[in-house]
Amino acid sequence: MLMPFMVWAQNNTSTQQLQQAITWIENQPAQVINLQKQQETHSAASTFNTYIPYLSTDDLKLIHERSGKTGKYAQYIQLHNGLPIWGTNVRMHELKNGSTRIQHVTLNTATISCGKLHERTTHWLLTGNQLEQIHVETAGGIQTISTANGELIIQRDLRRYLHQDDTMVTGKVFAPDPLSRAGVIYGQDGTWKHFNDSDYALLNDQRIDVTFPATLAGDSFELRNAYGRIVDFSMPLTSNRKEKNPSFNYTRKQQGFKDVMALYHVYNTQMYLQSLQYNLVQYPIRIDASASFGDQSFFTFDPDTSLNFGLGGVPDAEDADVIVHEYSHAISWDINPTPNMSTERRAIEEAMCDVMAAVRSKYYTTFNWRRLFNFDAPNPIAPGNIPFWNGRNGQSAKTYDEKLNDPYRDSEIWTSCLLDMSEHFGSDTLVDIMLASIELMTSTTTMPEACELMLIADSILYNGQNRLMIGYFFNERKFGNFPMSVRSSTAPKYYRLLNTAAFATGQNPLTIEMTNAAAFDVVLTDMTGKTRLSLSQQYLSAEIKPDELPAGIYILTVIQNGQSRSEKIIRN
């Protein structure tokens, strides 16, 4: 994968130009060509030549092939005079529905000059309007790029480290955080606060016992396994945790607690991915649970993929939402390592990571699960709303025409839309479709385009059975005019539906919660138009029990003050 680099010879202008050229070509957004179902199968090379005329069969070299949930990929690099051009790529995606997508970063080299070939040259590099000769070699996992004359340009670490056999150990964690588990909000009763990372009893009591794999190295157990390893690669240095016994039962004020939190929730998220038949991030990602004294966490791929958590305010690694969010960036990168160049594409990326965090939070408790970062967000020293950063809202009512061209604020539109869907056809289905759609994205995908990609993913994975409900929610957010099962009225939404997923599976009643204190009626019809249930209520809510209905799709109509609104509900 592409990674930023360590820089030498800062004052050498020629070297700096080459470094800039590498950065530029590695971050170019791909051009996209969509082809409909073909009656005749063409070779990849002939297909490319048809739609990218300056590419011939001799201009391409196959790098790798891979099959994903939505289809088969083939990755190529562009050649010039038999040698690869650095940073170019052509990606052909043959979808399971018969159509084809081509994404490419290529150069028309017909008018580009290049010098006589040097014997050390392994690649070409576009610099200005000419192709420079460079030498690329990898030894022991370290990649070195130099000029044809041997002058160092960059060097970077590509290693994914080996690990020993894992052994199950015990530990204590928050799941997902102490506030959500206790069913309280930050500062409630004046007691549920951070208290400077102390062993405050109310918070420590919210830890639960868990098991997870660690590594037995010699006579000690270390916090590393097949999916993550705790390391110190930045200040403050707290040293790696080792225990003689297979027990990592730390209290909150100990740094080891944050290490265990990070490693456990990465492992737990990985187990969830595998339950959905995704084999992603299959290596021990580096994790620093105390990467800085500031209040900032991030995923990076420089020089190797890593998760970095800040200690400022509420330490980020004490909130599983933060851990899962950052790990989800690694998941997205593994699916589609395309630079997220545009503001809207970054908003989609942030939203997909927030969706993963919310879904995993809901696994532990439904309290406040659609509010992101419940423990970390009420942070008195974090930037943002004074005195607290209030996290992100997974239950926003904002629509696409209200976007602000800010990746973090706009992410709430996509997050809330997807979480609305999850409440209707289940979190697992939503996550499956969402992850599969990442395979199809480019660096400049917009939200309306992402809608189309999710519908493609649903058509491939579920034969389109969710498309009408997906279209309904996309239309609600004003992403476009998509086919849907029920055309809602223009009346404002004056009620909320709760427990739709649990109702669908027969576990709990569906609750209709009104926002206005006035009498209302509920009518439930099946897809033939037959009325299956009719209710008249004087209070703020009504319930429909799942055992009152056979499996099927129903139209729920809520009538209040002369206004009516309909939507689809499902009983599996």
SS (H, E, C) 231-246: CCCCCCCCCCCEECCC
β partners of residue 154: 7, 145
420: which 2 tokens? Answer: 């609305």
Rounded Cα–Cα distance for residues 31 and 319 (Å): 39
Grouping H, G, I as helix, E, B as strand and the rest as coil, residue 559 is: strand
Each residue of 527-571: pLDDT tens digit? Answer: 777 888 999 987 788 899 988 888 888 888 888 887 878 888 888
> Which of these, 261, 259, 257, 260, lies nearest to 198 by C-alpha position?
257
Q: Is the pLDDT score of 302 beyond 90?
A: no
Task: Provide, rounded to the nearest whole percent, the portion of the chain with pLDDT above 90.
Answer: 33
Q: Judge contact between 355 and 268, C-beta under 8 A.
A: no
> Which residues in 96-207 belong to E strands, given as ranges?
100-105, 113-114, 123-127, 130-139, 142-147, 152-157, 166-173
In residues, how long is the chain?
A: 572
Report pTM.
Answer: 0.65
- Stretch 477-482: mean pLDDT: 91
Q: Is the pLDDT score of 148 beyond 70?
A: yes
- Stretch 274-296: mean pLDDT: 86
Each residue of 448-473: pLDDT tens digit? Answer: 999 999 999 999 999 888 888 898 89
Amino acid at 10: Q
Measured between its terminal Cα atoms, the distance across the chain in Å is 42
Q: What band does 332 get if pLDDT is binned at 50, 70 and 90?
A: very high
* pLDDT score of 236: 67
Q: Judge contact between 280 and 331, C-beta under 8 A.
A: yes
> Which of these, 288, 286, 287, 294, lies nearest to 311 by C-alpha position?
294
Q: Is the pLDDT score of 427 beyond 50?
A: yes
Q: Is the pLDDT score of 388 beyond 80?
A: no
Neighbours of 509 (CB within 10 A): 16
What one-character-per-residue DSSP string does 17-50 give?
HHHHHHHHHHTPPPEEEEE---SS---HHHHHHH
* pLDDT score of 487: 36
Rounded Cα–Cα distance for residues 442 and 263 (Å): 30
Residues 6+ apart with CB under 8 A from 432: 69, 276, 461
Amino acid at 358: A
Q: Is the pLDDT score of 410 beyond 80?
A: yes
> What phi, psi does 17 have (nearest 5°)?
-65, -40
* pLDDT score of 380: 43
In the block, tokens 């080299």 appear at 109
281: which 2 tokens? Answer: 């991030």
Q: 11-43 in b/e burial notation, b at 16+ Cβ within 10 A?
A: eeeebeebbebbeebbebbbebbebeeeeeeee
* pLDDT score of 340: 54
> Which of these, 67, 63, 58, lies nearest to 76 by C-alpha position?
63
168: which 2 tokens? Answer: 């199950």
> What phi, psi does 431 have (nearest 5°)?
-65, -40
- Stretch 214-223: mean pLDDT: 89
DSSP state of 118: P
- Stretch 266-275: mean pLDDT: 96
Q: Is the pLDDT score of 488 beyond 70?
A: no
Q: Tell whether omega for the bond before 213 is within 30 degrees of 0, i.e. cis.
A: no
Each residue of 41-84: pLDDT tens digit? Answer: 455 556 677 888 888 777 888 877 777 888 887 878 889 888 99
* pLDDT score of 437: 94
* pLDDT score of 2: 30
Q: State how far Cα 120 lies from the chain centre.
A: 41
570: which 2 tokens? Answer: 């499902």
10: which 2 tokens? Answer: 């800062």
Calculate the alpha carbon distances from 51 to 39, 58, 173, 443 in Å. Answer: 17, 16, 54, 20
Each residue of 315-325: pLDDT tens digit? Answer: 889 999 999 99
β partners of residue 389: 378, 379
* pLDDT score of 158: 43
- Stretch 479-498: mean pLDDT: 66
5: which 2 tokens? Answer: 């680099």
DSSP state of 547: G
Amino acid at 111: T
Residues 6+ apart with CB under 8 A from 184: 192
Give the best-scoring range by mean pLDDT among 15-19, 253-257, 353-357, 523-527: 353-357
Output 300 or 77, whichever has higher pLDDT. 77
Rounded Cα–Cα distance for residues 415 and 193 (Å): 27
Q: Judge contact between 45 and 57, C-beta under 8 A.
A: yes
* pLDDT score of 347: 93
Q: Is the pLDDT score of 7 beyond 80?
A: no
Rounded Cα–Cα distance for residues 238 and 76 (Å): 43
205: which 2 tokens? Answer: 């009591």
